[in-house]
Structure 1
Amino acid sequence: MTRSAPDDQTRPLRRPHLPLRPLWLCRVCAAPWPCPVARLTLRQEYAHDRIALSIYLCTVLHDAAADLYRLNPHDGPNPAALFTRFLGWAAPRGGPR
């Protein structure tokens, strides 16, 4: 599937890597969300506001924990694994700027 760009160049249409709820898998690549592409996209979108990125990720972590627990209440999601999956990758590396 292609679309025309404003300068009449043809480029492929890219689907955003969004979560499929309540499973919290990527709708495009089926990896646990946020998948690597979603992480890169989120880093780009929030490049100038890392605090907002952390707040957003805390919100989706809360939603994901509730959904995943509802799907499997007897063997619910591991809190440490969920933290690493949703927030651990977004922590700034290195010292203060």
Structure 2
Amino acid sequence: MPKAYWVSAYRTISDPDKLAAYNKLAASAVEAGGGRALVRGGRVVAHDAGIAERTVLIEFDSFAEAVAARESAAYQEALAMLADGVERDFRIVEGIE
């Protein structure tokens, strides 16, 4: 069964305090949902039309697990803390078998 990934690219961070509050709650929600952080910030080199922005990559054992973690009450609470503090591109993608 292929793994799945949450991919988040933060275009802007307008409220670092909201992001910090989100990060505290999101980390435990992701772990409870079976996710493992592979990338959280760090250096980025952008090519083509890319933007060098904060990027987060979370791995899950399955696509269903990744979707369920995103829909969980714990993660929804984390999202409420984030509110309008950032503009980001968030995707759930399935890996290759």
Q: Give the TM-score band, short-chain normalised.
A: 0.3 to 0.5
TM-score (norm 2): 0.33
TM-score (norm 1): 0.33
Larger Rg: 1
Higher strand share: 2
Higher helix share: 1
For CA contacts below 8 A with separation 6 or more, give which structure has more relative contact order. 2
